[in-house]
Homo-oligomer: A and B are copies of this chain.
Amino acid sequence: MTNKTILLNKRPVGKPQLSDFKFISTEIEELIKGEVLLKTTYVSVDPYLRGRMSDAKSYVPPFELNKPITSGIVAEVVESKNKEFKKGDYVSGMLAWKEYQKSNGEGLLKIDASKAPLSTYLGVLGMTGLTAYLGLTEIGKPKRGETIVISGAAGAVGSIVGQIAKNLGCKVIGIAGTDDKVTMLKSSLRFDAAINYNTTKNMAEAIKEVAPNGVDIYFDNVGGPISDAVLFNINKFARIIICGAISIYNNTELPQSISVQPFLVKNSALMQGFIVSNYAEKFPEAIQQLSKWLAAGKITYAETVVQGFDKIPQTFLDLFDGKNSGKMLIKI
């Protein structure tokens, strides 16, 4: 049986290219005791993977050249010699970009296809939802009536952050890159206001207009000039959650921005970077809250699902052009 696998062929310089990836065909060896054979169902592509493709020190080690790329994946158990898993079970985990792969079960989480759609275990009930919930609550500490701005608001994390903030009684302003996204944020996702940064000349002014009382929380997925514009509007004791910096991940030179220090000292403001695993001990309580909201219709999730294993690299590249609304997934 041919089994397609995607390797990291070259470390991207600047924006990743299709040629940075390589498809090969691998054989699957026989299962030994304790192993399961997994058939990939959904593959999650996320901006942070760009960081792992570089050689730089980061919170997770870089991918190795000529080794398979890994990301969040939902897979079906198609054969099992491990008593924890039986044929037909679904699992999620950090797995390789392969059609089929063996696993000894380590790091696999059994998921219940009857309770929520399989894809949500990579989204609102997976790392994406946890990142949104824990970044917002642990660092942002939102209080009823406060104003929050979210950049990358139509993205996987941003779209959930906004809805959680609404559930917690905040005024929610999203920043996104197309009019369609702006419309979606306001209509489907209950955002109070949304701004298209591609058609707005003076972002600082535009934010001020919809946040006349200033910005108490900024959930930052993008960095760069959009984040600079938000700084002009922060209130005393503002909290800025640095979740990602997609706008500058592909820069080959160190990006420059306005100096944040004077804004932080003037406003006694906080800026905090994080990775969701910092808050691992809070995962169960977060999942419980997210499941409750999901069941009650208080979180709507947006997905962009592309069909076919061969589309994984291109779908990853499309993230950097903002082609997704919500979570970007490949269905195999």
Contacts and interface: CB of A to CB of B under 8 A. Distances in A.
A283 interface: no
A262 B223 contact: yes
Interface in A167-181: none
B244 A265 contact: yes
A262 B278 contact: no
Taking the full assembly, how many copies of this chain does it contain?
A: 2
Contacts of A223: 259, 261-262
B274 A224 contact: no
A254 B255 CA distance: 16
A258 to B, nearest CB: 5
Interface in A22-38: none
Q: How large is the interface on A (under 10, 10 to 19, 20 to 34, 35 or more residues)?
A: 35 or more
A220 interface: yes
A332 to B, nearest CB: 30
A269 B272 CA distance: 6
A270 interface: yes
Interface in A256-296: 256-275, 278
A94 interface: no
Find the residue from A57, A224, A248, A261 having the highest chain B CB count within 10 A. A261
B273 A264 contact: yes
Contacts of A270: 270-273
A181 to B, nearest CB: 22
Interface string A234-263: 001000001111001100001111111111
A119 interface: no
Nearest to A48: B265
Nearest to A220: B261
Nearest to A232: B254
A57 B234 CA distance: 12
Contacts of A249: 262
Contacts of A236: 59
A268 B272 CA distance: 7
Interface in A205-250: 220, 223-224, 227, 236, 242-245, 248-249
A202 interface: no
A114 interface: no
A248 B271 CA distance: 20
Given A270-B272, A271-B270, A261 B227 contact: yes
